[in-house]
Chain A
Amino acid sequence: MSTDAAGRTFDLRALLAESGVGAVLDELDRELVGLAPVKLRIREIASLLVVDKARAELGVAGAKPSLHMCFTGNPGTGKTTVATRMATILHRLGHVRRGHLVAVTRDDLVGQYIGHTAPKTKEVLKRAMGGVLFIDEAYYLYRPENERDYGQEAIEILMQVMENQREDLVVILAGYKGRMDTFFQSNPGLASRVAHHIDFPDYSVEELEAIAEKMVTALGLRLSPAARQALSEYLALRREQPNFANARSLRNALDRARLRQARRLLEAGSVDAPMLTTIEAEDIRASRVFDAARSGTKAEEAAC
């Protein structure tokens, strides 16, 4: 058996294709715009798991790699979206058994009174077993200003499960870069248990335009050429303003443009099919972002 196995060659590509991960990875490339470092890291993880699979067939199975991850990046850069895909990918590769995603925040883990936190955290962990646990804004778990905060207890239970039941679930922590760094500095035990730190870059205007195109198409609408131009000007202005949340801000802007479009159409009275499905430049140019740019102020409200 061993001599036989030693002489075998492994078609890793076939193994990858067989797991159906290739399709998920291609889908990731096609549907998610930009995010080059993220995609690269996901491909690396997928490759590692495929190679491990081949090794396991050879009978030199090592311990399962620790795949706990930390996603850092500004709001709206696609952390949750990628986490959902990650669950599917890890499931196809056989690293997790079910491939579901349980998304939680501090409120779901930390209790209100003494003795409330442990059962609450454990319940969430049990629900996530066999899949991926996604903790959004994980740095809220640790509140250094209050030494009796129950967040620490949740972190301890989390660490214990991350270590002991590595094969049962994958934990993904997410949050803004600076605050996650502080969080890991104050919880070195947790930092050492998270093997993969992936940083999500901000989108460029071109990437945001490509995302807008996809969003609009998904809604069954389209942008007129003038609207496209208006949107790119809008994005260039909006990016410079405070509270810019990348794709999320874009989605909100498009939602408001749809509102304005609906009002415009009602005022017009009778419309034809192309009008119903087209967002015009005036729908976008009505945004207060342009007003603010014109008057030169950067009021907080201008974000609308």
Chain B
Amino acid sequence: MRITQGTFSFLPDLTDEQIAKQVDYALAQGWAVSLEFTDDPHPRNVYWEMWGLPMFDLKDAAGVIAELRDCRKAHPECYIKLNAFDSTRGFETVRMSFMVHRPKVEARYRLRREEGAGRLVHYTLERA
């Protein structure tokens, strides 16, 4: 099952050149780019591990791509996403976020039904 999260996730995976172009766009907007990775891409898991600190004051995507390569090498079996943070007053939030790496064998989730009080059915996703 293909995990879809963030921008571009219904497109084929971006190549490094395409990622670099997106990073250049983010840097041109003055956003700070950071990398995060996790082995649990559950949609409710918002706590991904940080790969180093967010990269401030960058002018070029080359630094980000080098970090991405290092991260892929260290965690080939994890999902990696790239966030671009806008510190402008009023935004102060992530403006762009997309996955830049997924493992060869993707994580699988299944839908679980649970019957509660009054025969109310709860649905939840759990790791298969």
- The answer to whether B66 and A165 touch across the interface, beta carbons within 8 angstroms, is yes
- The answer to whether A119 and B53 touch across the interface, beta carbons within 8 angstroms, is yes
Chain A residues within an 8 Å CB radius of B64? 126
User: A126 with B53: in contact, given A97-B60, A98-B60 (CB under 8 Å)?
Assistant: no
Using CB atoms, name the residue of chain B closest to A131.
Answer: B59
Counting CB contacts under 8 A, is B57 at the interface? Answer: yes
Interface of A, helix, strand, loop or mixed by DSSP: loop
Chain B residues within an 8 Å CB radius of A125? 63
A109 to chain B, nearest CB (A): 15
CB interface residues, B 101-120, toward A, < 8 Å: none
Counting CB contacts under 8 A, is B62 at the interface? Answer: yes
Counting CB contacts under 8 A, is B14 at the interface? Answer: no
Chain A residues within an 8 Å CB radius of B3? none
Using CB atoms, name the residue of chain A closest to B59.
Answer: A98
The contact size tier of chain A is: 10 to 19
Task: State the CA gap A123–B34 with chains docked (Å).
Answer: 12
Chain A residues within an 8 Å CB radius of B52? 119
A186 to chain B, nearest CB (A): 28
Task: State the CA gap A213–B40 with chains docked (Å).
Answer: 67
Chain B residues within an 8 Å CB radius of A98? 59-60
Interface of B, helix, strand, loop or mixed by DSSP: mixed
Counting CB contacts under 8 A, is A172 at the interface? Answer: no
Task: State the CA gap A165–B58 with chains docked (Å).
Answer: 16
Counting CB contacts under 8 A, is A93 at the interface? Answer: no
Counting CB contacts under 8 A, is B55 at the interface? Answer: yes
Task: State the CA gap A59–B81 with chains docked (Å).
Answer: 37
Chain B residues within an 8 Å CB radius of A251? none
Using CB atoms, name the residue of chain A closest to B63.
Answer: A126
- The answer to whether A129 and B53 touch across the interface, beta carbons within 8 angstroms, is no
Counting CB contacts under 8 A, is B67 at the interface? Answer: yes
- The answer to whether A168 and B62 touch across the interface, beta carbons within 8 angstroms, is yes
A154-168 CB contact bits vs B (8 Å, 1 = yes)?
A: 000000000001001
Q: A97-B60, A129-B58, A165-B62 are in contact. List 13 more A-B contacts (CB 8 A).
A: A98-B59, A119-B53, A125-B63, A126-B66, A127-B58, A127-B63, A129-B60, A129-B63, A130-B59, A130-B60, A130-B62, A168-B60, A168-B63
Residues of A within 8 A of B (CB): 97-98, 100, 119, 123, 125-127, 129-131, 165, 168-169
